[in-house]
Amino acid sequence: MSSTQPLLEVKNLQKHFPVSRGFWGKKAGTVRAVDSVSLSINSGKTLGLVGESGCGKTTAGRTLLRLIEPTGGEVLYRGTNILKASPAELRNYRRKLQIVFQDPYSSLNPRITVGGMLKEILQFHKIVPVKQISDRINELLGIVGLAPEYAHRYPHEFSGGQRQRIGIVRALAVEPEFLVLDEPVSALDVSIQAQILNLLKDLQKRLSLSYLFISHALSVVDHIADETAVMYLGRVVESGETSRVVSEPLHPYTKALIAAVPRPDPSMRQIREPLAGDVPNSMNPPSGCHFHPRCPQARPECSTWIYNLKEMPDGRKVACNLY
Ligand code: SF4
């Protein structure tokens, strides 16, 4: 891989869901959950993917891992399109590309101990010789800050933060290079959120991991992501270096997301108008710029504007008629 080639490159990824109605299942429309999304993640880096719920960010994360089959586009892992991989090749890629879910409890088998779960994974993928499995389980638990005796416990015996550590260690057991972190801290208390974010940062350094960090909260992404892409109704509307996106947002939607972040300093409040209204129905999105019915800077021509993610002189990209 050349030094400039991203570890993972997503080009025009699409996921459309047909919607049917009535007894005969007549096609009533299409939800364009992911509509030509392009992203790029470099080795050892974190890309944040942010937006309100229903914007398509979770579908994008699952589609790029082929947990959901995409409608179109390309996902290049080290230059190879994994959307064209055979089932055998896909099994190999799945080892390298893993996911951590928001609610690890729902994806853990309640009848199997954590040690049993890790043993199954290590055996199935032949990660270490059978004799070394027990030591490897202890080592893995240590990596995420859990004592070896936790291997004998069942998922219900853990707190929310500990369960998320188990979700992370389950993904790490197969020695991946890239993790999709799908809202990994949003179900946790604020103090626990900080611990998990710090753990993820530490693991990234120690294990040279790359992350796609999906969150509805820009404030959380600001803590962990090198670059950030902001999604609205299936499309990326702004992307670039996180510090720039957060401190000098270009797109009116990004500005509104930032205005919604609580500020401890009262003098900083209400600098920008927070977002009004809900995300429109993605089966019938507004014409032109999908954001125009909610945009405080909308102009008449925005309702017929054709989506175009334009590169700015500082390298950021923005999809807005104002630029
Ligand atoms: Fe607002 Fe128009 Fe820009 Fe859309 S294109 S974000 S409506 S100014």
Q: What is the pLDDT of residues 281-309, one digit of tens each?
A: 878 889 999 999 999 999 999 999 999 99
Residue 231 alpha carbon to ligand 1 centre in Å: 14
- Domain residues for the domain of 206 are 41-71+81-111+154-260+277-287
Nearest atom in ligand 1 to the alpha carbon of residue 302 is: 2
Domain of residue 213, CATH code? 3.40.50.300
Task: Give domain status of residue 318, yes or no.
Answer: no
What the block records as the tokens of 285 is 């999105």
| Distance of CA 35 from the midpoint of ligand 1 (Å) | 18
Cα(321) to centroid of ligand 1, in Å? 6
Q: Report the separation in Å between the CA atom of 274 and the middle of ligand 1, taken as the mean of its atom positions.
A: 15
Q: What is the pLDDT of residues 235-294, one digit of tens each?
A: 999 999 999 999 999 999 999 998 877 666 555 554 456 677 777 887 888 999 999 999
Q: Residue 28, exposed/middle/buried by CB under 10 A (0-12, 13-18, 19+)?
A: exposed
Which residues surround ligand 1 with Cβ inside 6 Å?
A: 251-252, 289, 291-292, 295, 297-299, 302, 305, 320-322
Q: Is residue 97 part of a domain?
A: yes
For the entire predicted model, the pTM comes to 0.91
Q: Give domain status of residue 76, yes or no.
A: no
Q: In what order do the strands lie in the sheet with 210-215?
A: 97-100, 178-182, 210-215, 46-50, 227-232, 235-241, 317-318, 310-311
Cα-to-centroid distance, 181 and ligand 1 (Å):
30
Nearest protein Cα to ligand 1, atom 7:
292
The verdict on residue 242 lying in a domain is: yes
Q: Does 101 fall in a domain? A: yes
The position carrying tokens 């790359």 is 210
Please check whether residue 248 lies inside any domain of the structure. Answer: yes
Residue 214 in domain = yes
∠ at Cα 159 (156, 161), nearest 5°?
A: 130
Distance from CA of residue 137 to its chain's centroid? Answer: 27
| Number of domains observed in the structure of the chain | 1
Residue 106 falls within a domain, yes or no?
A: yes
Tens of pLDDT, residue by residue over 10-55, are 999 999 998 887 777 777 788 899 998 999 999 999 999 999 988 8
